[in-house]
Chains A and B, each alone.
Chain A
Amino acid sequence: MKNTKCGCGHNNPVGTILCEYCGKPLQEEENTDRPLEMRYEGKARRSQTQKRTVLDRVWNFFSSVKVAIYLIVITLLASILGTVFPQEGQIPSGRPDVYYAQEYGFWGDLYYQLGLSDMYSSWWYISLLAMIGISLVICSLDRVVPLYQALRRQKVTKNTAFITRQRASRTLQVSEEEKDPLLDRLAESLSKKRYNIRREGDSILAEKGRFSRWGPYINHIGLIIFLLGTLMRLIPGWHLDEAVYVREGETKKLPELNYYVKNEKAIAELYDEKENRQQASKDQPIVKKYETQVVLYEKDPETDQLERVESGPILVNEPLKYKDLLLYQADFQPNQTEAIRLSVKDKETDEKLGSFWIDLYDPEMNYEVKDGVEVQIMDYFPDFVMDGNRPTTKSEVPNRPAFIFKVTSPEEEKAEKSWMIAGTDLDDLHRDNRYKMELEKLKTVNMSGLMVRIDKSLPIIFLGLGIFMVGLSIGLFWYHRRVWIRWKEGTLYLGAHTNKNWFGLRRELEQATAAADLPFSFSPEKR
């Protein structure tokens, strides 16, 4: 075991760099005048003293700032990878397995196969972030405890080698008679610079801004709270991320919730020419606002009645808030066909028999037209597409409605079958039919896409970020400055240390020493 007993008689733990008692450098060869390593006050940290159990090993691994930096750099490089192609959440397709190969060729496919297209929620990326979190906790604990102890138990009288090997230091021959008035003057001028002064015999310790040393630990606590906040979203019920599309006039249940939302009106407004002065030359209009006026209902679990709880407009940047629930304007689809009006014509008499509305979202099956002529929907494909030889539907949204009708009439023995596909002319197919169906009218409404969000961990997340900012400001905008002065055997030693802004410290020392009639220059070249 290494001998860590200092010349002053103090026993230091293994790993100590500067004697805990007098500050004498312990671990280096003597007779150098390189500035001292002042980090963590030269105290031994837990990671340097305990090296036995598995827990110690884990602790030592995560307590290393080197490891922390590696984790940061690896996360940084990995994050870059994820921006090469858009992530799955940002592609305009629900089929990532096809999309990447189609859009970006071989590399796109590889990107998808390697899982990089959804890498920010991959296990390895999350573990990287988790490891940074662990490292934050352990690094901070490993350092803040010894630092706190060292700063609290500071001794005023320091070893002269400790003073002369500070980055800013001076020595001067001062006789025994001169020393007391000089030390008084120095103490006073430093005190005027708002230093806390401690005196002990022929030594002075002047210190200010110690609280800035806690900045890094405060900001790490903030980051830990932030990371915990993001983890809490995994608690059931704390996080919800859904979307609903609601047509004007429609009331829809919100997914996974006992709420219903009614779209009263959805509008999109364009800038007029006066507001958009550049508009005259260009033909693309700019949207001024998207707005959905909604009413929110809560379902009473006993009576099954909808109870109105909130109402108001939803705009982009202005969500509707009710308790924890937030509704956002996310999408706007104008002029969606909601219903169509069909007319039925008798080709033999060239007479219009009548017409009827079909609700495309919830069509009735039978329609009585006139004189016993009846139209029956045999099959309905809201979003028609051919899958090989078989007609099918892509979705439940009537983007391209198609019908198979059966028309029965007392005058015809056999029922007639006819097709209708939006945007397709099928007259040839029905040449032999007696009854002809024609599209007479469309009923269109605007449709709003609303995001449905609940995020109960938000206050924790923003609290963490707030603490982080406070810690960051304390640590980076303030600084910890200390000046050690000691008279010993006809020589005055003066040394100073700061954790940042040496320029400011040197200027302050020059002003303070000048005020004490001891004009020292602390500029680094004149060391």
Chain B
Amino acid sequence: MEQLMEYSLLATFFLYLIAGVTFVAAMTGKGTEEEKEAHVVRWGRRGLIFAMIGAVLHVVFTVTRIFLSGHFPTSNMFEFTAFLCFAIVAAFIVIFSIYRTVALGAFVMPLAVIMLAYASVFPREVKPLIPALQSHWLGIHVTTAALGEGALAVGFVAGLIYLIRWADSHPNSRTAAYLEVVMAVILMVVAFVVLSFTFSGLDYHASFKHTVDEQEVVQEYSMPPIVGPSGGEAIQVQPFLGMERPLFDAPAWMEGEKAANKLNTVLWSVFSGLVLYGLLRLILRKRIYESMVPMVKNMDMELMDEISYRAIAIGYPVFTLGALIFAMIWAHEAWGRFWGWDPKEVWALITWLFYSAYLHLRLSRGWHGLKSSWMAVGGFVIIMLNLIAINLVLAGLHSYA
């Protein structure tokens, strides 16, 4: 049973990867217009089949995990992020069945791969539920919210494709510059995933002790220390490329329990992301988004704008239902108040307000195309902030990971 779970997750990962590669291959066919069109259709169908098999295996993984643990697997960062990945793929399959846009797959599936890899960075073991999570709302509230976010993520990808197309014809615009920044940030997330796996593969460890509120605490590092805890003392540091001690100490106000460790991880991700970006620029000899232009050149921009809007129009009610209304019902049952201004609640509200502004701007103020696409990107950035930053940095009732 446990092995079935592990293998189905692994197979899911590789199928999403293969689906992504297939979709990219579909968009980069050669030959005459007609040959290209036939190529897109043929390889697009194959990509969809891979994505669907992947999604089925993802369901197998989820179901076996339910059998193993006795609860719906949305109780920690690994489980939630993996489910969010599934939601993105599911939303893509729905949108694809309406619009048959192969190019969308060439971007959504790599996003799903990054998401699943990011999920796997977190502890994967099955843990029993703490009392606060023992409720059928765990499955209902979290999955509905994730499914909504999945559709919003597809809206983001369609917006991104629109922006790539737009920047292609306006290479000196601010949009082109900011689009490149978005690419660099995505690479930082990729770098984080790669680093986490590399250092856990190398079995890297370092630990420091320092005092917080007059109590001595030990911080475990899983990446070589660029920055150490303020006033910390090394207990044990494995040398890495000659690095035996932190290059500098964290500022004194960052005295949270794991603050220095988190700062260290962020620094590693940012630097390696930038290095990765530099390397890619050197290899490609053009901007990152420019290298994606051939994949989207034949996309109709108006259609992309509509897909982005449609995906958000589907995702917004589902997100509202899951992340706000079901959340309120559960909060009422568990905590005796339906709303408590917990950071995670506030960020769900912020996400909702942002997409409300998006809809009003689009429907009442006529924000289509470029502005609308940027807003789709901005919304996804907020969702990711919510997932990464709020869970890990701001502690609240929801930080179960």
Q: Which residues of A contact B (CB under 8 A)?
A: 37, 39, 65-66, 68-69, 72-73, 75-76, 79-80, 82-83, 86-87, 89-90, 104-105, 107, 120, 216, 241, 271, 275-278, 286-290, 315-319, 326, 328-330, 451, 453, 455, 458, 461-462, 465, 468-469, 472-473, 476-477, 499-504, 523-525
Is B134's CB within 8 Å of the partner chain A?
yes
| Chain B 307-318 near chain A by CB (<8 Å), digits 1 or 0 | 101100110110
Cβ-neighbour of A290 out of B131, B334, B336 (below 8 A): B131
6 smallest CB-CB distances across A and B, nearest first, come from: A316-B131, A65-B364, A328-B336, A76-B353, A317-B135, A453-B336
Closest CB in chain B relative to A474 CB, distance in Å? 10
Known contacts A65-B364, A69-B360; A315/B131 CB under 8 A = yes
* 28 A-B pairs in the complex with CB atoms less than 8 angstroms apart: A39-B363, A65-B365, A72-B356, A79-B349, A79-B353, A86-B343, A87-B341, A89-B340, A90-B397, A120-B341, A271-B128, A278-B125, A278-B127, A290-B131, A316-B131, A316-B334, A329-B131, A455-B337, A458-B338, A462-B328, A465-B325, A476-B313, A476-B317, A477-B317, A503-B99, A503-B306, A503-B310, A524-B303
**Residues of chain A lying within 8 A (CB to CB) of residue B337:** 241, 453, 455
Closest CB in chain B relative to A523 CB, distance in Å? 8
In the complex, the answer to whether A83 meets B300 with C-beta atoms within 8 Å is no
**Residues of chain A lying within 8 A (CB to CB) of residue B182:** none
The prevalent SS among residues of B at the interface is helix
Chain B residue with Cβ nearest A281: B125
**Residues of chain B lying within 8 A (CB to CB) of residue A503:** 98-99, 303, 306-307, 310
**Residues of chain A lying within 8 A (CB to CB) of residue B390:** 83
Cβ-neighbour of B127 out of A75, A276, A500, A525 (below 8 A): A276
| Chain B 376-397 near chain A by CB (<8 Å), digits 1 or 0 | 0000000000000010001111
Chain B residue with Cβ nearest A118: B341
Number of interface residues of B (CB under 8 A): 60
CA distance A82 to B309 in the complex (A): 30
Which of B134, B342, B353: most chain A CB closer than 10 A? B353
In the complex, the answer to whether B332 meets A458 with C-beta atoms within 8 Å is yes
Chain A residue with Cβ nearest B101: A503
**Residues of chain B lying within 8 A (CB to CB) of residue A465:** 324-325, 328
**Residues of chain A lying within 8 A (CB to CB) of residue B130:** 286-287
CA distance A119 to B99 in the complex (A): 45
**Residues of chain B lying within 8 A (CB to CB) of residue A120:** 341, 346
In the complex, the answer to whether B334 meets A500 with C-beta atoms within 8 Å is no
**Residues of chain A lying within 8 A (CB to CB) of residue B132:** 316-317
In the complex, the answer to whether A326 meets B336 with C-beta atoms within 8 Å is yes
In the complex, the answer to whether B306 meets A502 with C-beta atoms within 8 Å is yes
Closest CB in chain A relative to B371 CB, distance in Å? 12
**Residues of chain B lying within 8 A (CB to CB) of residue A462:** 328-329
Is B401's CB within 8 Å of the partner chain A?
no
Instruction: Other than A83-B347, A462-B328, give 6 A-B pairs with Cβ distance below 8 A.
Output: A76-B357, A83-B390, A461-B328, A465-B324, A465-B325, A503-B307
Is B333's CB within 8 Å of the partner chain A?
yes
Closest CB in chain B relative to A25 CB, distance in Å? 16
CA distance A171 to B324 in the complex (A): 48
CA distance A248 to B332 in the complex (A): 26
Known contacts A315-B131, A317-B334; A65/B360 CB under 8 A = yes
In the complex, the answer to whether A469 meets B317 with C-beta atoms within 8 Å is yes
Closest CB in chain B relative to A509 CB, distance in Å? 15
Chain A residue with Cβ nearest B328: A465
In the complex, the answer to whether A79 meets B350 with C-beta atoms within 8 Å is yes
Closest CB in chain B relative to A98 CB, distance in Å? 13
Known contacts A72-B353, A319-B333, A462-B329; A82/B134 CB under 8 A = no
Known contacts A287-B131, A330-B336; A524/B316 CB under 8 A = no
Is B335's CB within 8 Å of the partner chain A?
yes
CA distance A461 to B339 in the complex (A): 11
In the complex, the answer to whether A472 meets B317 with C-beta atoms within 8 Å is yes
CA distance A219 to B122 in the complex (A): 39
Known contacts A288-B128, A317-B131, A317-B135; A524/B300 CB under 8 A = yes
Closest CB in chain B relative to A296 CB, distance in Å? 16
**Residues of chain B lying within 8 A (CB to CB) of residue A83:** 343, 346-347, 390, 394
CA distance A275 to B138 in the complex (A): 19
**Residues of chain A lying within 8 A (CB to CB) of residue B127:** 276, 278, 286
CA distance A253 to B316 in the complex (A): 45
Which of B343, B347, B394: most chain A CB closer than 10 A? B343
